Amino acid sequence: MITIALPKGALLKDSIRLLQAVGLDFSAFLDSANRQLEIEDTTGTAKALLVRTHDVPVYVEYGQAQLGIVGYDVLREKNSKVAHLADLQFGGCRMSVAVKASSPYQSSLDLPPHGRVASKFVHCAREHFNKLDLPVEIIPLYGSVELGPITGMSEAIVDLVSTGRTLKENGLVEIDILFETTARLIANPLSYRLNTDRLHDLVEQLHSSILSKV
């Protein structure tokens, strides 16, 4: 039986919709009264795990799930040893540097050397500033990173931006985009190579479903 790691949060509804298109129904995860973290599809051919977004590639890398759906931002941050199979064409947003609108900074290079940048995406932030050869202190925050510049703890943040509404409402503006991100289909490399439980058949069905909507 194929096990699929699904992400809690913003990508879950579209992930379940994609799997429904190939005959796998895990919609019970959308029921607020449901507390199950593992459910089996009615066909008996697959089961799904509901996990934190950042844990999806971990479950896939270690083989507890053969497939997973996760944002490209998480893959960049975690640098997990998984096979990248497809861009699923949903969950689009961007990884950006943002500062207070009242600040003088117009780009990342305007930030002061050894300034502070708050982010839950520590690796992505560090990679960005290393490429610019700009030494900064990365402050790990896992809640509302917007508070970094608001409270004066940091000059900037690196975070995911979708509509930009949260930044605007908190007096912040984007000054650089690191990369665009969408949901991705990933696989355990060994399971995919060995075609465990006819994994290739399911992946081909998902590919076809994605292409039919493009």
Residues 63 and 86 in one domain: yes
Mean pLDDT value across residues 196-207: 92
Residues 176 and 208 in one domain: no
DSSP per-residue string spanning 92-148: -EEEEEEEETTSS--SGGGSPTTEEEEES-HHHHHHHHHHTT--EEEEE--S-TTHH
Distance CA 95, CA 16 (A): 24
What would the pLDDT profile of 36-56 be if each residue is shown by its tens digit? 999 999 888 899 999 999 999
Residues 129 and 158 in one domain: yes
Residues 78 and 66 in one domain: yes
Please count the structural domains in the chain: 2
Block residue for tokens 């994605």: 210
What would the pLDDT profile of 172-181 be if each residue is shown by its tens digit? 999 999 999 9
Residues 8 and 79 in one domain: yes
What would the pLDDT profile of 87-119 be if each residue is shown by its tens digit? 999 999 999 999 999 999 999 999 999 999 999
Residues 83 and 186 in one domain: yes
Domain, as residue range, for 138: 93-180
Residues 191 and 176 in one domain: no
Q: Which CATH number characterizes residue 25's domain? A: 3.40.190.10
Residues 66 and 125 in one domain: no
Q: What is the pTM of this model?
A: 0.92
DSSP per-residue string spanning the chain: -EEEEEESSTTHHHHHHHHHTTT---GGGG-TT---SEEE-TTSSEEEEEE-GGGHHHHHHTTS-SEEEEEHHHHHHH--S-EEEEE-S-S-EEEEEEEETTSS--SGGGSPTTEEEEES-HHHHHHHHHHTT--EEEEE--S-TTHHHHHTS-SEEEEEESSSHHHHHTTEEEEEEEEEE-EEEEE-HHHHHHTGGGHHHHHHHHHHHHHHT-
In the numeric block, which tokens belong to residue 151? 């409270």
Residues 67 and 45 in one domain: yes
Residues 170 and 189 in one domain: no
Is the Cβ–Cβ distance between 157 and 117 less than 8 Å?
yes
Is the Cβ–Cβ distance between 70 and 88 less than 8 Å?
no
In the numeric block, which tokens belong to residue 180? 């665009």
Residues 83 and 133 in one domain: no
**pLDDT value for 214:** 61
Q: What percent of the chain has pLDDT over 90?
A: 89
Residues 25 and 87 in one domain: yes
